[in-house]
């Protein structure tokens, strides 16, 4: 998606479309979704009626025609600016949707019908259908590879040009419609109904068609509506005061004061902030199923991360051979290589590489007539049966120990000590046996990703607890956890262990996030408050999570947390700024209204505004122009720094609270100086 991002916040074509939508959104049925701005629209058209009435009758008791029409124009501009903020945020999403539609064009599909292949349109594919894709074909629909392996170009979805490998079985079997097969052939089973594909959901999401107000947005809207009712009462109380002091307050003044006091700034920007938050998540190549998920990410207390591929590089490497006493090292290395010839795992390949460094090459080994024993998850070992009857096995120490003891052989203390030493140093031991006699140990080491300690420290400053999940034994897990700088770990983790840990944290009132890609991760992803599934993962995982990471980057959770916190901060700081603005505008307008008839209020007119009319006009002009000024901030979001909640609160109160009080005094005074030149 990165290649679809707009470099500018306000591209010309989007601005033109957004300006049109600003007028379309004046429809009362659309405005009603935003109670505050709907009220502003109502009083704006009341002001229009007053202006027409003043022009028709020539009555100046409610101010001159020029003054009334100017107030109406400014109020109308306030509505347009508000609608523009929402429209530009929506337009950015729709621009991304248009580029996605080009990807979702109908493509031919090679449908398997019995033993025949039929070419049909991708729109005709149903859930459960099976199709074949070869090199050069565009994948017609979302599905799971059930046979074969292929290199796939996912740039249409992710924006990344580097091809990825997808294969049947395991956790890298999912393919997305619209991506392209670069090599080999795969057989795919369709996992979605027409119109429900990943791309369809993406398009609906970025267009805003499926966007609903989050609980936080709803709560804030109710709060702002309460503020609005309060200021209705405040403005209503001014009438008796005015009558008592023989002060004439025009309808224009009442309406202007009301519009200035209600939280129009945040009311106008609230929707744009939510849409922009979703857009920032998409810009990070993360698809969210709801805005609530992004918000929840900002409040996360606990983060579950897989060790492999997240904290470590992912592939363990063989670093040392340890033959037992009495076994020649060269012979032991040969045995290690022979037992690894059928091991296609990265670990198996690294053993062959380490053997080459030790001077033992595969082509020097005599394997004629040998039977290769492939590595399986059940046996936890691989090996070879040589033509002369020699049996060599290599695998997890507990599997080889059981095999050796079952044959009546003793488990050497030397081997037990080596295993203990390797695991306590964060390594993984692989034990090698020949004819059921243990002959040595291979050390595998996880390579911790550079800079991961700093990222965990950053999360710690955010107040987020990090938990490493690994299938390693407790000793290895403890070593890597300490070295990486995580707060806790789950060793020898099974799917139910993840579930139990998440539930335990949630029972203590914590919000939990985790990432997974396999079917066995689905229950935990569904249980977590924020579940991020890898795009390469299984369909079950993607359905269980409430986010999908297009980059398949396990560390993306850290970025998601920051995006969520930024969304919450942006909404909070702009709300603070808006309410602080209202307080300042009250003290700017009210003294100016009464200073002629009540001279004692003159000292409160600290800005020395020219007249009540100029004060009113200056205040509503400032109220209108502050909205477009803040649109870039609403779209980009407030800059986030992991400095702790208390420090963030102090900083934002200082910048946006105090700034919100000071800004209107300066702005209204400057506008008044200009307005007074024409009055």
Residues facing 381 on adjacent strands: 395
Taking alpha carbons only, the member of 614, 613, 593 closest to residue 604 is 593
- Beta strands 512-516 and 302-306, pairing class: parallel
Output phi, psi for 569, to 5 deg.
-65, -45
Contact 150/182 with Cβ under 8 angstroms?
A: yes
Q: Copy the structure tokens of residue 558.
A: 């850290």
CA distance 293 to 200: 19
Helices (H), 164-214: 198-207
CA distance 8 to 241: 51
Task: Indicate the length of the chain as a whole number.
Answer: 679
Contact 313/446 with Cβ under 8 angstroms?
A: yes
CA distance 476 to 307: 11
Contact 298/571 with Cβ under 8 angstroms?
A: no
Degrees to nearest 5, angle at CA 275 with 30 and 527: 115
Residue 194's SS3 state is coil
Q: Copy the structure tokens of residue 343.
A: 């091991």
CA distance 249 to 252: 8
Report the interhelical angle of 264-283 vs 65-103 (nearest 10°).
Answer: 10
- HSE-CB of 417 using CA atoms within 13 angstroms: 7
H/E run at residue 515: strand 512-516
CB within 8 A of 376, min separation 6: which ones? none
CA distance 173 to 150: 10
Contact 447/312 with Cβ under 8 angstroms?
A: yes
Which residue, chain included where needed, has tokens 């139990």?
500
- DSSP 8-class letter at 657: I
- DSSP 8-class letter at 312: B
The sign of the torsion formed by the CA atoms of 73, 79, 81, 83 equals negative
Taking alpha carbons only, the member of 642, 667, 571 closest to residue 265 is 571
- The 3-class SS string of 127-144 reads CCCEEEEECCCECCCCEE
CA distance 131 to 187: 6
Residue 120's SS3 state is strand
- How many CB atoms lie under 10 A from the CB of residue 279? 22
CB within 8 A of 672, min separation 6: which ones? 607, 609, 610, 614, 615, 618
CA distance 635 to 657: 20
Active-site residue set: 306
- DSSP 8-class letter at 106: -
Q: Copy the structure tokens of residue 16.
A: 């033109």
């Amino acid at each position: 998606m990165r290649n679809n991002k707009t470099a500018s916040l306000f591209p010309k074509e989007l601005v033109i479309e957004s300006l049109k939508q600003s007028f379309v959104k004046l429809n009362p049925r659309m405005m009603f979704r935003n109670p505050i701005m709907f009220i502003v629209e109502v009083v704006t058209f009341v002001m229009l009626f007053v202006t027409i009435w003043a022009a028709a009758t020539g009555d100046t008791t409610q101010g001159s025609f020029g003054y009334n029409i100017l107030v109406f124009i400014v109020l109308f501009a306030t509505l347009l600016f508000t609608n523009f903020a929402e429209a530009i945020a929506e337009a950015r999403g729709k621009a991304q949707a248009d580029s996605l539609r080009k990807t979702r064009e109908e493509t031919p599909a090679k449908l398997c019908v019995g033993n025949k292949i039929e070419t049909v349109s991708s729109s005709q594919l149903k859930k459960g259908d099976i199709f074949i894709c070869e090199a050069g074909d565009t994948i017609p629909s979302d599905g799971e590879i059930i046979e074969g392996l292929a290199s796939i170009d996912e740039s249409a979805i992710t924006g990344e040009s580097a091809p990825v490998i997808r294969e049947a079985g395991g956790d890298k079997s999912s393919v997305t419609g619209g991506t392209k097969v670069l090599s080999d052939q795969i057989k795919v089973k369709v996992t979605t109904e027409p119109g429900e594909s990943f791309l369809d959901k993406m398009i609906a999401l970025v267009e805003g068609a499926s966007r609903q107000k989050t609980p936080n947005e709803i709560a804030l809207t109710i709060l702002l509506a309460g503020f609005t009712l309060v200021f209705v009462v405040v403005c209503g109380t001014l009438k008796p005061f005015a009558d008592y002091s023989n002060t004439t307050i025009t309808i224009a003044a009442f309406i202007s004061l009301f519009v200035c006091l209600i939280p129009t700034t945040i009311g106008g920007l609230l929707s744009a902030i939510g849409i922009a938050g979703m857009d920032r998540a998409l810009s990070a190549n993360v698809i969210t199923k709801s805005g609530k998920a992004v918000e929840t990410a900002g409040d996360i207390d606990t983060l579950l991360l897989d060790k492999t591929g997240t904290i470590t590089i992912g592939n363990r490497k063989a670093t040392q051979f340890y033959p037992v006493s009495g076994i020649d090292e060269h012979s032991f290395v040969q045995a290690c290589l022979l037992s690894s010839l059928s091991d296609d795992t990265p670990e198996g390949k690294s053993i062959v590489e380490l053997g080459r460094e030790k001077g033992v090459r595969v082509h020097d080994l005599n394997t004629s007539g040998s039977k290769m024993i492939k590595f399986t998850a059940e046996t936890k070992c691989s090996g070879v049966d040589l033509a002369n009857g020699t049996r060599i096995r290599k695998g997890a120490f507990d599997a080889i120990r059981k095999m050796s003891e079952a044959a009546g052989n003793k488990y050497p203390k030397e081997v037990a000590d080596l295993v203990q030493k390797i695991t306590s140093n964060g390594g993984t031991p692989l034990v090698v046996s020949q004819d059921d006699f243990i002959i040595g140990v291979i050390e595998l080491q996880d390579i911790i990703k550079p800079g991961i300690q700093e990222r965990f420290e950053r999360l710690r400053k955010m107040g987020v607890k990090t938990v490493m999940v690994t299938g390693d034994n407790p000793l290895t897990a403890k070593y890597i956890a300490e070295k990486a700088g995580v707060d806790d770990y789950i060793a020898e983790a099974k799917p139910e262990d993840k579930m139990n840990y998440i539930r335990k944290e949630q029972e203590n009132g914590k919000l939990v996030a985790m990432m997974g890609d396999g079917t066995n991760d689905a229950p935990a992803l569904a249980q977590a408050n924020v579940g991020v599934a890898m795009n390469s993962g299984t369909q079950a995982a993607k359905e269980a999570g409430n986010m999908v990471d297009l980059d398949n980057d396990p560390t993306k959770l850290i970025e998601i947390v920051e995006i969520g916190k930024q969304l919450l901060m942006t909404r909070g700081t702009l709300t603070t700024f808006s309410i602080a603005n209202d307080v300042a505008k009250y003290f700017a307008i009210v003294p100016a209204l009464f200073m002629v008839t009540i001279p004692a209020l003159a000292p409160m007119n600290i800005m020395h505004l020219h007249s009540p009319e100029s004060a009113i006009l200056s205040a509503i002009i400032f109220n209108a122009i502050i909205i477009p000024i803040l649109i870039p901030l609403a779209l980009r979001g407030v800059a986030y720094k992991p400095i702790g909640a208390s420090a963030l609160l102090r900083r934002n109160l200082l910048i946006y609270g105090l700034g919100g009080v000071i800004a209107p005094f300066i702005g209204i005074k400057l506008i008044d100086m200009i307005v007074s030149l024409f009055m």
